[in-house]
Structure 1
Amino acid sequence: MTTTSVHPTLSHPNPARGIRPTGAVPVGRRFLFADRRRATLTVLGVAASLLLVLVLGGIFAGAVDRVTYYIRTSPADVFVSQAGVRTMHMSASTLPADAPDRVAQVPGVAWAAPIAFASGSVAGAQGRQLTYLIGYDTRTGRGGPSGLVAGRLPGAGEAIIDEQAADRLGIGLGDRFTVMGMPVRAVGFSTGGSSITNTTVFVDLAEFARIHDERVSYVLAGVDAGADPDTVADRIQAEVDGVTVQSREQFAESEARIVTDMSADLLRLMSTIGLVIALAVIALGLMTATLNRLRDFAVLKALGARTPRLARAVAMQVLLTVVLASAVATTAALILAWLLPTAAPAVQISITAAAVAQTTAAALLVGLIAALWPLRRIAALDAATAFRETR
């Protein structure tokens, strides 16, 4: 086995005093970079494992971001739904026709706009996809798409469809397609409304009544300047019967929660498999790195270094490896998140600082346990025996 000799000044020049000469290189850093090729392979192996975990978590986080995009970008500060209904996804909400007027009369409400909402399918020349159909008042624009990338607002027999779904289904501006079996013409393209499974189509309220039925599903409300949305939401809840009222943030959280709960089993399976694979690779790589230096650690102990100092050297080696690997994995994940939408527009990867910190912390914990475990063989030996064991 190839080893790297360790200069005495790097170990412990004065065991009794425990002083390291000024300018001496820490042992952990020297061990890590002594064999640059092996160090590179270890860092890349750990980075690949961290990348797997980050991408799996990022895909799910991106899907949740897409599902809540309409709510998060809405101009409404407060969302009013049928009593007991707290989401749009997998929910059915029906309010009385006078609900928008009743909400608008509550003190602190600047405006109130109705929307109609239903789930169905949209079909074009190149296929079919699940969709959310949203009817809104095109005169005010409240409740409609956050912006158009092409075209204009819809009128009778017309609709706005998300550009990613339009591209996938082969629908161009002016083309006819069907929503819930009813023909409409595409006059505008929106963005941000497509996920892996669903897309979004917007029509005028009168057109929604023709396609599906005449209803008020939700009321979107804006609050007066300087008013607190939570306070206004409480007033609406108290003064309007048969409704559930939430601020935009609460509504988005409820939507994200139900999507997470629906995907909990699949997410837990994917995350567990990815995490086990990643941690196994990290543990194996860092344990091997320690085993490859076991003779050097034995020499250091024979020269007077104590076990805590050896443990600190190993911990420094693990820390440097995991930090470098985390930087590489995060960079690769961000590049992948930037490139993937060009190949698969409906798939979004969301990499957050919290996810990076959590993944790095888990890798560091497992790496420390795996790397320090082999030192128990050296810790149990006296200096003379440790020296003989290296020969």
Structure 2
Amino acid sequence: MNAVRTLTRPPTADAVPVGRRMLFAERRRATLTILGVACALLLVLVLRGIFAGAIEQVTNYIRTSPAEIFVSQAGVRTMHMSASALPTDSVAEVAAVPGVAWAEPIGFATGSVAGPDGRQLSYVIGYDTTTGRGGPSTLETGRQPGPGEAVLDRQAADQLGIKVDDLVTVLGTPLRIVGLSSGGTNIANTTVFVSAEQFQRMGHHEVSYILIGVEDDVSAGTVAGRVQDALPGATVQTREEFADSETRVVTDMSADLLRLMSTIGLLIALAVIALGLMTATLSQIRDYAVLKALGATTLRLAGTVAVQVVVTVALAAAAATVLALGLGVLLPLLSSSVPVSVTAPAVAQTAGGALLAGLIAALWPLRRIASIDAATAFRETR
């Protein structure tokens, strides 16, 4: 009796990894499918990575600043495409707030810097060179600027053909480059640093922003609230809030372009993924018909297909991530203005979208087999 029961039980009831075995039954086809999906995912990851890298560049000054709180003119929440002016006595008022370790004013203006190889839009920041808190986060070469001098970002210097000790014109004033910094150039502009005294000589006497350091025993949020109470007519933000505001305004400015790029990339990727996985299912449609003729349920067949899709997308996502990370290292070497930042959320979202599209496309061909009986399914494979 036991033998009879064993023989009459459908073979597909056994815990056999049918999906994985069918996927790699023809390794060449499986490899091509995985590579095709990986290329589609790579396109989306690179597009997202370029935008994320550009955002990181735009907010670099804020994120690398030693300040934990930033004060600006009322209604001004960013540095990008903004102008801010604060009363000069605001610095003393901020310094007197409990929990403030130091308060550093900086001047901020928009201009351009020109070199033998062209001209580039530039932010000009005037800061106290004795403390260096408002200056560049990294000074790669040279020294802090003095009267008639400036520090330029190395990337912009390379693009414009400018070297240390060259004369450049900034805000209509000739200045000698005495140092090269890093992290101050993005897809829109670069950054020039001058001393606070030189900034005033260039006709800018206002305090644009106040950078605030916080004492160790108090949180930045608490001190920010106190500063806001002391300066009700100003905008007070923590470093994270300031960087988020900067990110939003840059994203809004490039929203149309970003949406177009993302939509095109996503549509291409989903089309490739759907076509590849649907073709993989169609190429094995006779095998699925045989399984149904042997007793496999439609649910079991769908599960087999789903396993193949999950394995394919997982392997493709891993390959695409490795390639995207490699491009993130390679592209800045070829062009430092094109950074690629691959993040875990971007990988997860891209892989999730690919999985959903793949499941729909791969399961779609099974609808014909699901609607017929086992005997008919068997005959259709002959």
Classify the TM-score, shorter chain: over 0.9
Q: What amino acid does structure 1 have at the position aligned with 2:186?
A: S
Deviation string 1:320-364 (CA, Å, 9 cap, x unpaired) is 100010011000000000010111011111000010000000000
Q: Secondary structure at the match of 1:131?
A: strand
Q: Secondary structure at the match of 1:34?
A: coil
The yes-or-no answer on 1:253 pairing with 2:247 is: no
Q: What TM-score, normalized by structure 1, do the two folds share?
A: 0.94
The yes-or-no answer on 1:94 pairing with 2:85 is: yes
Structure 2 segments unaligned to the other structure (5+ residues): 1-5
Q: What is the percent sequence identity of the aligned residues? A: 66
Q: Which residue does the alignment assign to 2:233? A: 242
Structure 1 segments unaligned to the other structure (5+ residues): 1-11
The yes-or-no answer on 1:20 pairing with 2:14 is: yes
Deviation string 1:136-164 (CA, Å, 9 cap, x unpaired) is 00011111111211100000010011000
Q: Which residue does the alignment assign to 1:133? A: 124
Output aligned runs, 1:1-391, within 5 Å: 15=9, 19-20=13-14, 24=16, 26-391=17-382
Q: What TM-score, normalized by structure 2, do the two folds share?
A: 0.97
How far off its partner does 1:124 sit?
0.9
Q: Is the 8 A contact 2:12 2:295 kept in 1?
A: no
How far off its partner does 1:275 sit?
0.2
Post-superposition, which runs of at least 4 consecutive aligned residues in structure 1 deviate over 2 A?
A: 12-19
Q: Secondary structure at the match of 2:365?
A: helix
Q: Is the 8 A contact 1:49 1:281 kept in 2?
A: yes
Q: Which residue does the alignment assign to 2:3? A: none
Tell me: CA distance 1:13–1:100, structure 2 relative to 1, closer, same or farther (3 Å).
farther
Q: Is the 8 A contact 1:13 1:20 kept in 2?
A: no
Tell me: CA distance 1:314–1:204, structure 2 relative to 1, closer, same or farther (3 Å).
same
Q: What amino acid does structure 2 have at the position aligned with 1:233?
A: A
Q: Is the 8 A contact 2:10 2:294 kept in 1?
A: no
How far off its partner does 1:17 sit?
9.1
CA distance in 2, matches of 1:142, 1:196: 25
Q: Is the 8 A contact 1:47 1:328 kept in 2?
A: yes
CA distance in 1, matches of 2:218, 2:195: 30
Q: Is the 8 A contact 2:115 2:161 kept in 1?
A: yes
Tell me: CA distance 1:202–1:13, structure 2 relative to 1, closer, same or farther (3 Å).
farther
Q: Is the 8 A contact 1:154 1:188 kept in 2?
A: yes
Q: Secondary structure at the match of 2:364?
A: helix
CA distance in 1, matches of 2:239, 2:75: 17
Q: How many residues align?
A: 377
Q: What amino acid does structure 2 have at the position aligned with 1:132?
A: Y
Q: What amino acid does structure 2 have at the position aligned with 1:49?
A: A
Tell me: CA distance 1:212–1:331, structure 2 relative to 1, closer, same or farther (3 Å).
farther
